[in-house]
Amino acid sequence: MVISDLQLKQCLKEFATPLYIYDANLIKKRYQQLYKWIPYKKLQIYYAMKANYNLHILRLLEKEGSCIDAVSPGDIYLALKAGFSKIRILFTANKISDEEMHEVAKLDVLFNIGSLSRLEKFGKAYPGREVCIRFNPDVIAGEHEFIRTGGEASKFGIFLEKVDLVLEIAEKYKLKIVGIHEHTGSGIPEIVQMQKGMRNILGIITIERFPYLRFVDFGGGFKVPYHLDEKKVDYSKFGEEVTELFTGFCKLFGRDLEMYFEPGKLLVAESGKLLVTATTLKENPGKKIVGVNSGFSQLIRPMFYQAYHHLRNLSNPNGKLKIYDIVGNICESGDCFAVDRELPEIREGDILAIKTAGAYCYSMGSVYNMRPMPSEVMIVDGKIRLIRRGLSNEELAKKIVNEC
Ligand code: LLP
């Protein structure tokens, strides 16, 4: 465990639950590990900021040298505020409106376009510009069906067979294709699936087709373990193999290209925890139900993707093991963090830690049922820092009144 129980207890003295806690050193470590695992000399990491957009996490990764995978104009404004210059941001434009296209074009950030119709509109409005093209890797992989982005059913990316149509549009508007992109899915369990997507994309790239090409971006999808006994994917083996693959490809292509990856989960998931308090014990026939002071509005992955998040009872770690459903405080029956989970006896007032909550947890949160999002703290070199203050209930109500 990276954040010690002592540090968690210290946080609880200073802050109330629910509370998000992140470990800055682990985020840095994962970022640096990627460069060790993938020894390709022209590697660049683009952090997928949708995973966790806390300003302090963005700043930390900015200092490390990361670039940004942004998916909305809002992402771009925030990344700029965090200190990323526009040339360190790639905008993956998914189903954008014309207004959004013009807004981002003014900011002069590179577009990653994944549909022929948007490419046509972009070319017409901004002839001669540089652009990156997102292709569908034609591989179906990822830890849940909602987060698989390849294959025929996917709304993402241009089909590989349509490469000639891409070239026609680019030619018509003198667009310079400087990047090719693919993203297969999130939490890909096997490195061979990631590598298959990479090979498929490389299969359509030649210097005759893409004379201006500077980089190939292979998206995110690195899997992190959510179960305690889960086998870690061997990313150093992956890194060596893809370095060999890409180096060989560049020889054929005729020039050394940059290789990008866009991890979200890998960089931040394991760094985070959500601490909650058991508020209500309930005994149904054949079931022990523990209600806590948080819910799917603050951490939706278990409900949305049936995702497993490990839970610990920090207040009674040596208690007698019992089987519980751990449910949230939102007025919906599906609001559940864990079903039939064995945990040391839980008493009202006990603090539970929900593990691996650094990616797509706070960032997918909302104030549904009018509960403010929790505060976020970060442990930086052993020190506890408040990195975002949650609103009080009253402040949230006032904010909404002010917005109306
Ligand atoms: N690049 C693109 C174009 C993406 O769509 C994504 C994630 C990433 C990179 C980063 O993927 P990662 O390395 O984090 O797997 N909310 C879901 C995950 C959604 C991923 C969406 N796209 C979850 O909680 O599992």
- Does 404 qualify as catalytic in the annotation? no
The answer to pTM > 0.85 is yes
Question: How many structural domains compose the chain?
Answer: 2
Same domain, 264 and 275: no
Share of the chain above pLDDT 90, in %: 90
98 belongs to a structural domain: yes
Quote the CA–CA distance of 241 and 191 in Å, as a whole number: 10
> How many A from CA of 112 to the centre of ligand 1?
15
Quote the CA–CA distance of 113 and 158 in Å, as a whole number: 9
Same domain, 89 and 206: yes
Return the residue whose CA atom lies nearest to atom 6 of ligand 1. 220
395 belongs to a structural domain: no
Q: Is 396 in the pocket of ligand 1 (CB under 6 A)?
A: no
Q: Is 183 in the pocket of ligand 1 (CB under 6 A)?
A: yes
Average pLDDT, integer, range 33-53: 98
43 belongs to a structural domain: yes
Nearest by Cα to 110 from 137, 85, 146: 85
**What residue ranges in 8-136 does DSSP mark as E strands?**
19-23, 43-48, 67-70, 89-93, 110-113, 130-136
Q: Is 150 in the pocket of ligand 1 (CB under 6 A)?
A: no
Instruction: Return the number of other C-beta atoms located less than 10 Å from residue 98's C-beta.
Output: 11
Can you give the pLDDT at residue 95? 92
- How is residue 162 written in tokens? 């349509």
Q: What H or E segment, with its residue span, contains residue 350? A: none
Look at residue 1 and tell me whether its pLDDT is greater than 60. no
Which one of 34, 50, 184 would you pick to mutate in the ligand 1 pocket, going by the greatest count of ligand atoms within 8 A of its CB?
50
Same domain, 284 and 182: no
> Final residue of a domain: which of 268, 291, 321?
268
User: What backbone torsions phi and psi does residue 97 show, to the nearest 5 degrees?
Assistant: -90, 165
pLDDT digits 0-9 by tens, 365-387: 999 999 999 999 999 999 999 99
User: Per the residue annotation, which of 331, 336, 361, 404 is the catalytic one?
Assistant: 331
Which one of 181, 217, 262, 299 would you pick to mutate in the ligand 1 pocket, going by the greatest count of ligand atoms within 8 A of its CB?
262
CATH number, domain with residue 311: 2.40.37.10
Same domain, 28 and 157: yes
Look at residue 331 and tell me whether its pLDDT is greater than 60. yes
pLDDT band at 151 (very low <50, low <70, confident <90, very high): confident
Can you give the pLDDT at residue 74? 98
Can you give the pLDDT at residue 146? 84
> Final residue of a domain: which of 268, 287, 307?
268
197 belongs to a structural domain: yes
Q: Is 219 in the pocket of ligand 1 (CB under 6 A)?
A: yes
pLDDT digits 0-9 by tens, 180-200: 999 988 888 888 888 999 999
Q: Is 45 in the pocket of ligand 1 (CB under 6 A)?
A: no
Among 2-11, 248-257, 283-292, 310-319, where is mean pLDDT lowest?
A: 2-11
Same domain, 148 and 191: yes
89 belongs to a structural domain: yes
> How many A from CA of 249 to the centre of ligand 1?
26
Q: Is 302 in the pocket of ligand 1 (CB under 6 A)?
A: no
Closest approach atom of ligand 1 to CA 51: 14
pLDDT digits 0-9 by tens, 223-240: 999 999 998 999 999 999
Can you give the pLDDT at residue 152? 78
> Final residue of a domain: which of 268, 290, 316?
268
Q: Residue 371: give the domain boundaries.
A: 269-387
- How is residue 160 written in tokens? 């590989």
- How is residue 363 written in tokens? 């960032």
3-state helix, strand, coil in the chain (%, to 5): 35, 25, 40
Return the residue whose CA atom lies nearest to atom 14 of ligand 1. 264
pLDDT band at 362 (very low <50, low <70, confident <90, very high): very high
> How many A from CA of 253 to the centre of ligand 1?
29
Look at residue 55 and tell me whether its pLDDT is greater than 90. yes
Return the residue whose CA atom lies nearest to atom 19 of ligand 1. 147
> How many A from CA of 217 to the centre of ligand 1?
14
